[in-house]
């Protein structure tokens, strides 16, 4: 292509972008679309983490052991993990709008089913539905942002999305706990489900697939699903993003989704309300850290792997200090653990940014789904293993939790090795 042709193409793309801005209503329209999707995502997080606050209630309601309780979340997270790549394919094929709407409706229906579940089997089916809805909602949000915001703003907007989305975790902590204590199980989960149903309807009315930013002028050609997945994995940047997400996300996720509240109450001697506020502090700390990591990611793209390694190292250090204390840890040390765990969510988003900048637009949702698969697969393994250990060590005991949390260390080791190896290969290709 000649320089003149290139210049014409650039001007044409600029004109197309300008007309798209006029048609879409500019940045206010982008923010409106983003906000509508964000509401669906925040409520998806609330439904995902609802058993963290209601775990002990679920144990009594269904008469199950800690190991059986972990099965609820095991299946939910398993479905979420297994659905990452299919969700990415759906979004790449049909766009995020209706996939997002469908996710909100599935989440709402699943939580209403859980509200009136009278057996363990029905409750398990409901949590599987939560996993299905959750996976497509997040994939859709990751696809919306690059379509509606300029590339320079994508890292910060992605961090902002995940941070504000964690408001859902706050809703599943103290407010849901208070609802459970006030009106009981069925009304509480019915209210949660109705909120997701409403958010899905709102998203269908407001969200559109294309916005301010045009897709790449040189999209990746269509290819069979397995070939596309293999092509994404062969890129060292994809593997770097995968192992970065693996090492940063799973500890925070396991703590916030299920085992944090029982650990703080049963092993650390906190009241349920105090533990709920501790879980809320985790979310608030993430909200403070996320924008900083977003700006650092955008400003220093060649240092993203160091951000990942630093967060993993801090998490290992905090857990080691807490687990080394013979009895209940001092409150200030638990506070440090909460703050360090809060780095895990924003840190894992750095992996999505690495995937975004090392994969073509045509396979972006698949690449980001593959990255998300990493941390959730590790969370799945740890969630299951902790339930197994607690069941065999007599339930929610301090010794049982101490042994269970030690299972994190092999996962961190695998993540660090993967980051170092894939980072070296990625740098050789520059």
Confidence of residue 223 (pLDDT cuts 50, 70, 90): low
More confident residue, 11 or 257: 257
Residue with tokens 């964690």: 166
With a cut of 50, say whether residue 1 has pLDDT above it.
no
Mean pLDDT, rounded, for 87-104? 87
The predicted pLDDT at position 23 comes to 42
With a cut of 50, say whether residue 33 has pLDDT above it.
yes
Q: Shortest CA distance to 263 belongs to which of 392, 400, 375, 71? A: 400
The predicted pLDDT at position 380 comes to 83
**Of the ranges 92-101, 209-218, 254-263, 280-289, which one carries the lowest mean pLDDT score?**
209-218
With a cut of 60, say whether residue 25 has pLDDT above it.
no
With a cut of 60, say whether residue 216 has pLDDT above it.
no
Tens of pLDDT, residues 372-427: 889 888 988 898 899 889 988 888 899 999 999 999 999 999 999 999 999 887 77
With a cut of 50, say whether residue 24 has pLDDT above it.
no
Distance between CA 141 and CA 33 in Å, rounded?
Answer: 10
More confident residue, 332 or 49: 332
More confident residue, 362 or 191: 191
pLDDT > 70: percent of the chain: 87
Q: Report DSSP letters for 20-68, one per residue.
A: HHHHHTHHHHHHHHHHHHHHHHHHHHHHHTHHHHHHHHHHHHHT--HHH
The predicted pLDDT at position 106 comes to 95
The predicted pLDDT at position 307 comes to 93
CA 266 to chain centre: 26
Residue 374 burial (CB < 10 Å; 0-12/13-18/19+)?
buried
Residue 221 burial (CB < 10 Å; 0-12/13-18/19+)?
exposed
More confident residue, 127 or 428: 127
Q: Could you tell me if 408 and 249 are in contact, meaning their C-beta atoms sit under 8 angstroms apart?
A: no
The predicted pLDDT at position 429 comes to 58
Task: Count Cα atoms within 13 angstroms, Cβ side, for 93.
Answer: 12
Tens of pLDDT, residues 119-174: 888 988 898 899 899 989 988 988 888 888 887 788 888 888 887 877 777 777 67
**Of the ranges 234-238, 267-271, 357-361, which one carries the lowest mean pLDDT score?**
357-361
Nearest 5 degrees, angle CA 280-CA 282-CA 285?
A: 110
The predicted pLDDT at position 86 comes to 86
The predicted pLDDT at position 221 comes to 53
Distance between CA 33 and CA 264 in Å, rounded?
Answer: 38
The predicted pLDDT at position 333 comes to 96
Q: Could you tell me if 147 and 92 are in contact, meaning their C-beta atoms sit under 8 angstroms apart?
A: no
Structure tokens at 68: 């059986």
Q: How many helices (H) and strands (E) does the chain have?
A: 21, 0
pTM score over 0.75:
no
Tens of pLDDT, residues 65-84: 766 776 776 777 778 778 88
The predicted pLDDT at position 306 comes to 93
**Of the ranges 90-94, 209-213, 404-408, which one carries the lowest mean pLDDT score?**
209-213
Mean residue pLDDT across the chain: 83
The predicted pLDDT at position 377 comes to 86
CATH of the domain spanning 24-209+226-428:
1.20.1250.20
Assign residue 269 a region (left: φ > 0; alpha: ψ between -120 and 50; beta: otherwise).
Answer: left
Distance between CA 77 and CA 127 in Å, rounded?
Answer: 9
The predicted pLDDT at position 426 comes to 73
Distance between CA 76 and CA 130 in Å, rounded?
Answer: 7
Mean pLDDT, rounded, for 216-230? 61
């Amino acid at each position: 292509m000649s320089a003149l042709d290139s210049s014409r193409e650039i001007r044409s793309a600029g004109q197309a972008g300008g007309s798209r801005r006029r048609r879409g209503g500019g940045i206010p329209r982008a923010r409106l679309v983003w906000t509508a999707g964000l509401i669906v995502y925040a409520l998806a997080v609330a439904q995902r983490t609802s058993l963290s606050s209601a775990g002990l209630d679920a144990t009594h309601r269904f008469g199950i052991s800690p190991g059986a309780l972990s099965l609820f979340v095991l299946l939910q997270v398993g479905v979420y993990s297994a659905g990452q790549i299919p969700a990415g394919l759906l979004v790449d094929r049909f766009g995020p709008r209706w996939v997002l709407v469908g996710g909100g409706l599935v989440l709402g229906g699943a939580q209403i089913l859980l509200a009136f579940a009278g057996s363990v089997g029905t409750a398990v089916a409901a949590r599987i539905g939560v996993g299905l809805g959750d996976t497509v909602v997040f994939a859709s949000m990751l696809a919306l942002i690059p379509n509606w915001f300029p590339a320079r703003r994508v890292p910060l907007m992605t961090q902002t999305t995940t941070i504000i989305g964690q408001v859902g975790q706050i809703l599943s902590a103290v407010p849901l706990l208070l609802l459970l204590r006030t009106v009981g199980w069925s009304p509480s989960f019915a209210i949660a489900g109705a909120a997701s149903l409403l958010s899905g309807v709102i998203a269908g009315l407001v969200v559109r697939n294309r916005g301010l930013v045009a897709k790449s002028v040189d999209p990746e050609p269509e290819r069979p699903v397995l070939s596309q997945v293999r092509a994404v994995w062969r890129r060292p940047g994809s593997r770097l993003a995968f192992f970065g997400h693996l090492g940063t996300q799973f500890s925070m996720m396991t703590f916030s989704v299920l085992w944090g509240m029982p650990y703080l109450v049963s092993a650390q001697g906190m009241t349920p309300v105090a533990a709920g506020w501790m879980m809320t502090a985790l979310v608030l700390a993430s909200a403070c850290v996320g924008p900083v990591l977003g700006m650092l990611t955008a400003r220093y793209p060649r240092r993203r792997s160091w951000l990942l390694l630093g967060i993993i190292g801090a998490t290992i250090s905090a857990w080691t200090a807490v687990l080394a204390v013979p009895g209940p840890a001092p409150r200030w040390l638990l506070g440090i653990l909460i703050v360090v765990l809060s780095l895990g969510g924003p840190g894992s988003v750095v992996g999505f940014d690495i995937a975004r900048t090392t994969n073509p637009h045509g396979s972006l949702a698949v690449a980001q789904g593959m990255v998300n698969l990493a941390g959730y697969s590790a969370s799945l393994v740890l969630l299951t293993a902790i339930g197994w250990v607690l069941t065999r060590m007599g339930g929610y005991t301090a010794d049982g939790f101490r042994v269970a949390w030690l299972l994190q260390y092999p996962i961190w080791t695998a993540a660090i090795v993967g980051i170092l190896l894939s980072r070296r290969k990625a740098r050789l290709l520059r």
